[in-house]
Structure 1
Amino acid sequence: MSESGNEMLEVNVGDTVEGTVVKVDEKQVLVDIGYKTEGIVPIGELSNLHIEVAGDVVKEGDQLTLMVKKVEDDEVILSKKAVDSDKAWLELEDKYKNEVVFETEIKEIVKGGLVVDVGLRGFIPASLVETFYVEDFSDYINKSLSVKIVDLDREQNRVILSHRAVTEEESATQKQDILQSLKEGQVLEGTIQRLTNFGVFVDIGGIDGLVHISQLSHQRVEKASDVVSEGQKIKVEVLSIDRDNERISLSHKKTLAGPWTEVSSKVSTGDILEGTVKRLVNFGAFVEVLPGIEGLVHISQIANRHIGTPQEVLEVGQKVEVKVLDVNEKEQRMSLSIKELEQEQAAAEYKKYEKDEEQSSFQLGDMIGNKLDKYKK
C-alpha cells in the first residue's frame, strides 16, 4: 500500500489514474493507485472485447492507466476499457478522416460477420470481408486483415470496417499500373476467367483482357469451350490497349506455331493430296489440304476444258484430289492442280487401254493362227 496516497485522498468519478496490478483474480483485478484502498477493475471493465478470465488481459506488475467509474465506502471501481475506448476513438476518428488503411486481428466470428480489436470492438460485416463470397469464416479467427473504416459513430458505439474496400482499391491501383505498363506485341501468361459466345476473358495479373473467338486458334472455332476451359493458363499477345475504357485485346493464336510452320517438311511439289473446297473466287478455288492450310487451284488448273467460273465444276465443301505444283512456306502460298491429275489419269487409262488392245489382238492372232493351222493340214 502506498503511503503517499495522502495526496490522493480525493478520488472522483471520471478521474484518470495510474496504477500497478497487485493481484489478478479470475473475474477482477486489484490495482495499487496510491489510494488508501486498492482499486478494483471488474473483468467487464478490462477490455472492449469479451474475455473469459482476467489473466487473459493483464498480469501482476503491469502498469495501467485507468478511469474511476465509482467511489463508494472507500471502494474504488476502475475501468481500463473506458481509457482504452477514449484513446481508441481519437485514433479511429483520425484514421476515418484520413482514410487510413491499417491491420487488425479477427477476435470472434459472429452471425453476419467478424469482430475485431481496434482498441474497442469493431465489426466487419460478411459482405465487406472479401470481394468474393465466403461460406465459412472459421479460418479467419486470429488472422490479421488490412482494413479501412467505412462507418464510425461514437454515440451509437458503432465501428464498421471493410477489408473488401482495401482489396478493391489495391486492385484498381494494380489495374492502372498494368494498363500503363502494357505494350502492343507483349507476350504474357494469363488465366482464363470466363468464356462467352464471342471469346474469352483472360486475367493477365489483375486486369482482364479479351481474346476474341477469332484469335483463339489458327483453325476456325465455333465455340470457345471447344478449345479452352475456365481456369486454364494460356499465353497471349497484346493486340491493342484502350486505356481510357480499360479494354485490352489479346490473341492466343499469335503465340501458337502457325499451320504453315515447317509445312515444307510435310508437303512437297508433286504430292497428291485430298482436300476440301473452302472458297470459290473468280480466279480459282481455295482448297484446304491440311488443318488451316489452303492452297489455290487457279481457274486454268481446275479442268481440262475451258471454264468461265469455278462454280461450273466445283462447290464449297466438295472433296477433291489435287496435285501440289508449288509450296512457299515463307509466303504461306501453295499452288495446286486438279487438271494435271485428270490428265495423268487420262494418260494412264489410255496406256492401259492400249495395252489391253495389244493383248486382245495378240490373243486374236493366236486364236486365228491356230484355226489356220487346222486348214493347213
Structure 2
Amino acid sequence: MNEDNITNENQNAMEDALNSVHDVKVGDIVKGEVLAIDDDKQLIVGIQGTGVEGVVPMKELSSQHIDDINDAAKIGDVLDLVVISTIGKDKENGSYLLSKRRLEARKVWTEIQEKFEAGESIDAPVTEVVKGGLVVDAGVRGFIPASMIEDHFVDDLSQYKGQTLKLKIIEIEPSENRLILSHRAIAEAEKAEQKEKILATLKAGDVVEGTVARLTNFGAFVDLGGIDGLVHVSEISYDRVDKPSDVLKVGETVKVAVLSVDTDKERISLSIKATLPEPWTDIEDKAPVGSVLEGTVKRLTTFGAFVEVFPGVEGLVHISQISHEHIATPNDVLSEGETVKVKVLDVKPDAHRLALSIKALAPKPNGETEKPVATPVDTSKYQSDDDEGGFTLGDIIGKDLKG
C-alpha cells in the first residue's frame, strides 16, 4: 500500500467522523459510555457511533438529589441520554451537554399522559410543603393546590410531608413542566363508593361505631365511615340535653344504634341512648318504696312537680305531697332546677312511674297529725295528654289514702 492510499484512507475516515457529528442534534436520544468522572461533578461520556464526547453534569443524572456522583454511575457504564445543547464550535473535538434526568422525565411525561387519557390515577410521595399546596415526586414535579388536598379545609399541610397519596391527574403540560394533581377527587370518589356500600348494608337495629363530625342545636352528625347519620338531641341521652355540645365533642368516637335508613334520601337516623342501659331497669331495687332520694325539679305543673331522681327517671310529687300547708300551685314553694329530697311512695316499673313525696320528709306543723282524706277526688284531672301523667289517685298520694 503506497502513501497516497494511506493518506486517502485517513482523509475518508476523518470525513466520516466529521459527517457523523452532523448526525448528533439537540433532542436526539443517544447512548453514552462513561469514560471519566471529572472532579466528582460531571461525567465525561463517549457518544456511541459518533466518535465525539459529551458531558453529563451531576444535576442531570437524576431527578432525585445525589450526594455522591459515584453512587449514580461508574466508568464503563452505558447510559441512555438526551442531547440538550452543544458545547463549543469545534466539531472535530466538540462536546455535547447530555442529560439522563431529562430523558427519564420525558418517559415519565409520556406515561402520565397515557394515564391521564385513560382516566387512571397515580401514586406519588409528598416531598415539600409550599405556599398554596403540596409538591410531589411523580417522576416529575407535580403540584397539589391546597383546595384539592381534601374534601374539607386543612389548616396544617405539614402533616402530609412524606406521605404517599393517590392522585387524580387534573392538568398536564409537559412543555411547561406543569402537572396539576388532586387528592380531593380521589377522596370524594372513595367516600361516594363507601356511602353506597353503607346504605346497602346498614339496617335498623344495627349497633356501630362512628365519629362525631358536626354538632348543631338539634343534634349531632356522626360519620359512619363515608356517610353521616343524625343523632337527634332527644336521642343523645336519657338525661335531658339542652345542647349537644354540652355532652359531645367533634372527633369523639361514639357507639350508636341505627333507628332507620332511607336509601332514597341517603338519610340515617341514629341513637346514642339506645346503646345505654335503660334507666328504668331494676328501678324497684334502686328506688324501693320508703327510700329517700335526692333529685332535681325538672318541670312544674298545676297538679305537681316532676322530679328527676336518676338520669332519665322522673317521678311525680303531687301538689298534695309538696307541703303540709295548703298551696295554690307548686310554683309557690318550688322552682325548676331546684334540688330536693323526696320519699318514694309507690313504684310502677312497667308504667315507668314513681310517686314521690316531699311532705313526708318534713316535720308536721305544731306536731299535728294528718287527717285521712274523706272527700272523693276526681282523678281525671291528673291525667295528661302524654305519658308524663296518667297517675291514679293512689299513685299520687300513695299511702296517705290508707286508714
Q: Partner letter of residue 39 of structure 1?
A: G
Q: Which residue of 1 aligns with 2:228?
A: 208
State the 1:335 CA deviation: 5.1
Residue in structure 2 matching 1:28, options 2, 17, 42: 42
CA gap of 1:59–1:215, structure 2 versus 1, over 3 A, is: farther
Structure 1 unmatched ranges of 5 or more: 304-310, 353-377
Deviations 1:255-308 (A, max 9, x none): 111221221112223556677584658xx7574352332346789x879xxxxx
Aligned pairs (5 A) from 1:81-92: 81-92=101-112
Unmatched runs of 5 consecutive residues or more in structure 2:
1-12, 372-403
Q: CA deviation at 1:76?
A: 4.0
Whether contact under 8 Å (2:305, 2:330) holds in the other structure is: no
1:9 aligns with 2:34: no
For the pair shown, the structure with the greater C-alpha radius of gyration is 1
Instruction: Name 1:355's counterpart in structure 2.
Output: none
In structure 2, distance between residues paired with 1:277 and 1:126: 50
Relative to structure 1, is the Cα distance of residues 99 and 43 closer, same or farther in structure 2, using a 3 angstrom cutoff? same
Quote the residue 1:135 is aligned against.
156
Residues in 2 aligned to 1:84 and 1:139: alpha-carbon distance in whole angstroms: 26
Residue 38 of structure 1 corresponds to: 53
Secondary structure of 2:179 counterpart: strand
Shift of 1:161: 1.7
Residue 152 of structure 1 deviates from its aligned partner by: 0.9
Tell me if the contact between 1:128 and 1:165 (Cα under 8 Å) persists in the aligned partners.
Answer: yes
The answer to whether the Cα contact below 8 Å between 1:239 and 1:250 also exists between their aligned partners in 2 is: yes
Partner of 1:261: 281
How far, CA to CA, are the matches of 2:72 and 2:145 in structure 1?
A: 26
Q: 1:18 aligns with which of 12, 31, 38?
A: 31
Equivalent residue, structure 2, for 1:151:
171
Q: Contact 1:218 / 1:259 at 8 angstroms: preserved in 2?
A: yes
Matches of 1:298 and 1:123 in 2, distance apart? Answer: 72
1:96 partnered with 2:110: no
Cα distance in 2, alignment partners of residues 223 and 312 from structure 1: 34
Partner of 2:5: none
SS in 2 for 1:9: helix
Contact 1:171 1:206 in 2 (8 A): yes
Paired position in structure 2 for 1:368: none
Query: Cα 1:24–1:107, aligned 2, differ >3 Å: closer, same or farther?
Result: farther
Q: What letter matches 1:166 in structure 2?
A: I
1:191 is aligned to 211
- Secondary structure (helix, strand or coil) at the match of 2:125 reads strand
Residue 170 of structure 1, aligned match among 167, 190, 195: 190
Q: Distance in 1 between matches of 2:159 and 2:316?
A: 66
2:86 is equivalent to residue 65 of structure 1: no
Aligned pairs for 1:1-377 within 5 A: 9=20, 11-13=23-25, 14-25=27-38, 26-34=40-48, 35-47=50-62, 54-55=69-70, 57-70=72-85, 72=89, 73-74=91-92, 75-77=94-96, 78-130=98-150, 131-135=152-156, 137=158, 140-141=161-162, 143-271=163-291, 276=297, 278=299, 280=301, 287-288=306-307, 290-291=309-310, 292-295=312-315, 314=330, 324-325=345-346, 327-334=347-354, 349-350=368-369
| Inter-CA distance 253–41: structure 2 relative to 1 (3 Å threshold) | same
Residue identity in the other structure for 2:345: V
- Whether contact under 8 Å (2:123, 2:138) holds in the other structure is no
Q: Secondary structure at the match of 2:55?
A: strand
Question: Which whole-Å CA distance do the structure 2 matches of 1:245 and 1:62 have between them?
Answer: 64
Cα separation, partners in 2 of 1:55 and 1:101, compared to 1, 3 Å: farther
Distance 1:192-1:120 versus aligned 2 partners, 3 A rule? closer
What amino acid sits opposite 2:41 in the alignment? K
Aligned-pair distance for 1:351?
Answer: 9.7
Kept in 2: contact 1:273–1:289 (CA 8 A): no
User: More deviation in 12-21 or 145-154?
Assistant: 12-21
CA deviation profile, 1:110-134 (whole Å, cap 9, x unmatched): 4444433333332233443445425
Query: Counterparts of 1:267 and 1:165 in 2: how far apart (Å)?
Result: 57
Partner SS for 2:45? strand
Query: Contact 1:270–1:324 at 8 Å: present in 2 too?
Result: yes
Cross-structure match for 2:379: none
Whole-Å Cα distance in 2 between the matches of residues 156 and 302 of structure 1? 87
Verify the 8 A CA contact 2:300 2:330 in the aligned structure 1: no
Q: Which moved more, 1:47-56 or 1:125-134?
A: 47-56
Q: Distance in 2 between matches of 1:31 and 1:125?
A: 40
Q: For the residues of structure 2 that align with 1:122 and 1:312, how far apart are their CA atoms?
A: 79
